[in-house]
């Protein structure tokens, strides 16, 4: 896809597709959609450009929300934090941004950049740094490409902000996470300022087009009274993990994250089995009755409402909800040793080694 424009209308499908690729996390995209739609109504549509059209010497900046999705549901942004974060980063760098990027292709963070792009008139690059959502800020392809997360600006809805300069992207995560917690559990950030050349080296390409596409498939299938699971699995080269009803859900907001696990009792062809999915903002691992993994981070674990067919975020999991869990292979960058070190099961404390989704039994 080359340059095209996104109108308020298409934000509907982008929010839905983003919620699916968000692998349970990234926050409910509803608020982000409303923010993007309001900004587009006011300032006009957003120009989305292909990574190939980014000039090497451009300054490109990801803007996103940081924090626990459970907090974001209740602590609404004032609306201008992301713009303020971007402006302060530009002031610190002494240079205006030439384009914006989505840090992740999932949840709120695939819609908020549209709001900022509309308000600033900057183009948004078709791609992101994860190809999904991940809970921590160093977990982007750009880290593997040697791009520094700082200088980074973090801003809250009250008017507080910080410019962080850290010695590593992991230290940026630590310092920004403690600011996020102090700011009330969520904040808006502008980070990873990078050149167009760096963007082209690290970005996961055309993922905004992909989430628009996913959103349209979901809407289309639902319009025909079909659950989108089958169409999505086929389209995305995915795997049906299981279907079942939530019989137990455990969650806590700790360390600035929404952490927990859901126990799901199999239904239909999975009748008689019991499954478990763990999450830290995003789904990290899906296990069967014998604690054998069915899908492991960084591969994607996505949830669809088995009845309505809409994506389900971890905050929406509740007793009795029927879900279909789908596994998708992650981007090849994540399957490299550096990728597995950054976002593999070991980082999150799981003893299981990473096994690609395709090689795991069902």
How many whole angstroms separate alpha carbon 313 and alpha carbon 322?
A: 13
Burial of 79 (0-12, 13-18, 19+ CB in 10 A): middle
How many whole angstroms separate alpha carbon 300 and alpha carbon 9?
A: 27
Q: Does 348 bind a copy of itself (CB under 8 A)?
A: no
How many whole angstroms separate alpha carbon 355 and alpha carbon 339?
A: 13
CA atoms within a 13 Å half-sphere pointing along the CA-CB vector of 204? 26
Number of Cβ within a 10 Å radius of residue 253: 16
Q: Does 164 bind a copy of itself (CB under 8 A)?
A: yes
Q: Does 181 bind a copy of itself (CB under 8 A)?
A: yes
Query: Which is nearer to a copy of itself, 163 or 233 (by Cβ)?
Result: 163
By DSSP bridging, strand 124-128 and strand 293-296 are unpaired
Q: Which of 171, 347, 348, 350 binds a copy of itself (CB under 8 A)?
A: 171
Query: Which is nearer to a copy of itself, 158 or 318 (by Cβ)?
Result: 158
Query: Which is nearer to a copy of itself, 99 or 188 (by Cβ)?
Result: 188
Q: Does 167 bind a copy of itself (CB under 8 A)?
A: yes
Q: How far is the CB of 65 from a copy of itself (least distance, A)?
A: 18
Q: How far is the CB of 279 from a copy of itself (least distance, A)?
A: 24
Binding segment (CB under 8 A) for a copy of itself, from list 30-38, 180-188, 206-214, 257-265: 180-188
Bridge partner residues of 296 (DSSP):
285
By DSSP bridging, strand 300-305 and strand 322-328 are antiparallel
Size of the site for a copy of itself (CB under 8 A): 21
Q: Does 63 bind a copy of itself (CB under 8 A)?
A: no
Q: Does 182 bind a copy of itself (CB under 8 A)?
A: yes
Q: CA of 323: how far to CAs of 47, 112, 245, 298, 312, in Å?
A: 35, 27, 6, 21, 8
* Binding map of a copy of itself across residues 183-222, x = CB under 8 A, - = no contact: x---------------------------------------
DSSP string covering 9-53:
GGHHHHHHHHHHHTTT-S--HHHHHHHHHHHHHHH-PEEEE-GGG
Query: Nearest Cα to 300, choosing from 72, 25, 9?
Result: 25
CA atoms within a 13 Å half-sphere pointing along the CA-CB vector of 326? 28
Torsion of CA 232, 236, 238, 241, to 10 degrees: -30
* Binding map of a copy of itself across residues 139-158, x = CB under 8 A, - = no contact: -------------------x
How many whole angstroms separate alpha carbon 230 and alpha carbon 304?
A: 11
Q: Which of 16, 83, 162, 333 binds a copy of itself (CB under 8 A)?
A: 162
Q: How far is the CB of 138 from a copy of itself (least distance, A)?
A: 14
Q: Which of 12, 43, 165, 245 binds a copy of itself (CB under 8 A)?
A: 165
Within 89-108, the residues that bind a copy of itself by CB under 8 A are 92
Q: Does 179 bind a copy of itself (CB under 8 A)?
A: yes
Q: How far is the CB of 71 from a copy of itself (least distance, A)?
A: 16
Query: Which is nearer to a copy of itself, 165 or 209 (by Cβ)?
Result: 165
Q: How far is the CB of 255 from a copy of itself (least distance, A)?
A: 11
Query: Which is nearer to a copy of itself, 83 or 161 (by Cβ)?
Result: 161
Instruction: List interacting residues with a copy of itself (CB under 8 A).
Output: 88, 92, 158-167, 171, 174-175, 177-179, 181-183
């Amino acid at each position: 896809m080359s340059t095209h424009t996104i109108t308020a209308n298409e934000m509907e499908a982008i929010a839905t597709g983003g919620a699916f690729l968000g692998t349970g996390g990234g926050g409910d995209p509803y608020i982000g959609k409303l923010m993007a739609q309001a900004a587009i109504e006011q300032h006009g549509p957003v120009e989305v450009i292909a990574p190939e059209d980014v000039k090497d010497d451009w300054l490109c900046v990801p803007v996103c929300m940081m924090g626990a999705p459970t907090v974001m549901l209740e602590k609404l942004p004032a609306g201008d934090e992301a713009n303020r974060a971007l402006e302060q980063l530009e002031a610190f760098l002494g240079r205006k941004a030439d384009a914006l990027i989505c840090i992740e292709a999932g949840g709120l963070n695939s819609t908020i950049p549209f709001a900022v792009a509309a308000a600033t008139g900057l183009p948004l690059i078709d791609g992101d740094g994860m190809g999904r959502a991940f809970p921590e800020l160093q977990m982007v392809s750009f880290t593997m490409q040697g791009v520094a997360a700082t200088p980074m600006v973090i801003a809250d809805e009250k008017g507080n902000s910080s410019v962080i300069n850290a010695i590593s992207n992991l230290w940026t995560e630590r310092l920004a996470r403690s600011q996020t917690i102090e700011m009330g559990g969520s904040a808006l950030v502008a980070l990873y300022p990078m050149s167009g050349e760096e963007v082209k080296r690290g970005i996961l390409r055309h993922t905004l087009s992909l989430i628009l596409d996913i959103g349209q498939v979901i809407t289309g299938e639902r319009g025909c009274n079909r659950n989108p699971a089958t169409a999505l699995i086929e389209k995305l080269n995915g795997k049906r993990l299981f279907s079942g009803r939530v019989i137990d859900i455990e969650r806590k907001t700790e360390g600035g994250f929404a952490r927990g696990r859901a126990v799901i009792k199999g239904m239909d062809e999975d009748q008689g089995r019991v499954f478990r999915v763990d999450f830290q903002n995003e789904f990290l691992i899906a296990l069967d009755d014998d604690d054998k993994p069915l899908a492991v981070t960084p591969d994607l674990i996505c949830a669809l409402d088995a009845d309505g067919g809409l994506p389900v975020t971890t905050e929406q999991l509740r007793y009795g909800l029927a879900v279909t869990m789908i596994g998708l292979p992650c981007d090849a960058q994540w399957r490299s040793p550096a990728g597995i070190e950054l976002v593999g099961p070991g980082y999150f404390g799981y003893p299981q080694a990473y096994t690609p989704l395709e090689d795991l039994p069902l």
